[in-house]
Amino acid sequence: MARFRAMASYPFRILASGASCVKSILQGIWDLFPWSQLKRMEREDERLQLAHNKFFVDRILRPAAAAPISTVVEEPLSESTSPLFSRIPPEVRRDILLYAFGEHTLHMDLGFHAPPKHVDEEPTDPGNTAHAGIESQEFISFGDRDGQWRWGGCICHRSPPEEDPLSLGRLRCDPLVPTRESYYSDGCLAGEASCPHWPGQWPVKCQIGIMGWLLSCRQAYLEGMEALYGMNTIQVSCKLLLRGFPELISSNVMSHITSLKLVINPQKLPLRHVFIGHFDRSRARQLTPQKALFPLLSHLHIWLSGPEYELLGLADADALEAASHNPRDIYSPPDLDVMIIRLAPATTNVTVTCPFSLWYRSVEADHINSQGKEWTQERGSEYGGVEFWRQMPVGGQLPKTTEEWQAAKKNGRGYWIHLGLVYDIRHQVHEVDDDD
């Protein structure tokens, strides 16, 4: 009897499966028409994005004023001058500012956000750190009446303090810390960090706290601005700033930045668009400087984010494996060359991190073939993990003889391509969990 019922229901299952296939085909065909719901949603998303960009350019984006930053006092000190400036030597004042406001990684953010939810008391729940007094930050779409354009800034506490910290407050850990709000690429901007591990009183220890000093007097402003941008690492990850930084920040401020960290998803913002501005291409070309945008930059750390397949421009593992033997299909380091030359002088220590081993090994193999293993010189990185050297071609050509290589390493340009270990470790953990 059961077998008879199964045979009797078989035609109905075939009919239902066929109907489902026909429905999917018809839905796909219908979605191609401009009046379908899918097309209407795409047009609405495009309209909102254009309105977002136009509002930003027309209302928010203004060329930054070229305010000077200098510790030189042109006029003689008067009798009313504070003893802090008249009696304490400049080098001692610099040490004070370094201790008070320096040696941190500082977030710089700009976006259309809802007002963050603040708390007055430090949370006791271990799952809620309320970094900088922010309990949470709600993501809203552009045009929401509850949203406003907001600048954001705080000290980065995404990881506990390091035993052997790097200079200028640079951090070794992964900047893409998972958060409850997937919109953010760093937990600090959503109130999530490792604040309990850092010394100091909450939430003051999470905030930069330099505004009162800057507003106290002219000399305090000049010295404080130099300390703020010259003694810290500035981290930028939001798309608006990654593109429009030179239009929003004055050239004088940029000339005092000594350490910069950029978190970039090349699929969302091509490297050729980083720091070129929000104007049309002709205007962008006019804004392209003849010298580096950050002339005093000593450290530049570029973190390439996004799924590994996106970075390689591929869709599946088979194509990924095939591309490892074809450098033309690999995410192209020459794009990095152009961006680095535009941002930093030749003396800058530049590190490009991609936290995916297959991408790293593929690009490294290409460099060993073109540069030779001796000049690729893989080594341990100060950021953890390993890194190898990329020599930038001059006029499209790499050095050929040993003497040319030595001259290129001494006088030419290049940078370190770094493999972060964070994602590999996470994947190993997930694999162990799956096996259990």
- The answer to whether residue 170 scores a pLDDT higher than 90 is yes
Higher per-residue pLDDT: 355 or 388: 388
User: What does pTM read for this prediction?
Assistant: 0.75
Give 142-154 pLDDT, tens digit per residue. 666 677 778 888 9
What pLDDT is attached to residue 287?
A: 46
Tokens 């392209």, residue located: 288
Closest CA to 175 of 430, 353, 380, 387: 353
Average pLDDT over residues 22-42: 76
Rounded Cα gap, residues 386 and 354, in angstroms: 11
* Encoded tokens for 140: 């809203």
What pLDDT is attached to residue 71?
A: 45
- The answer to whether residue 371 scores a pLDDT higher than 70 is yes
DSSP track, 135-167:
EE-----TT-TT-EEEEEEEE--SSPPPSSPPG
Band (9; pLDDT cuts 50, 70, 90) = low
Higher per-residue pLDDT: 252 or 263: 263
Q: Estimate to the nearest angstrom the gap between the alpha carbon of 380 and the chain centroid.
A: 23
Would you mind telling me the total number of residues written for the chain in this entry? 436
Average pLDDT over residues 283-294: 63
Calculate what percentage of the chain has a pLDDT beyond 90: 17
Average pLDDT over residues 12-16: 67
Nearest 5°: the CA angle 20, 25, 26 is: 95
* Encoded tokens for 120: 């007055």
Sorted by sequence, the CB contacts under 8 Å of residue 112 that are 6+ apart come out as: 52, 140, 142, 147, 148, 149, 150
**367: Cα within 13 Å, side-chain hemisphere:** 26
Give 300-329 pLDDT, tens digit per residue. 999 988 665 455 444 334 444 444 444 333
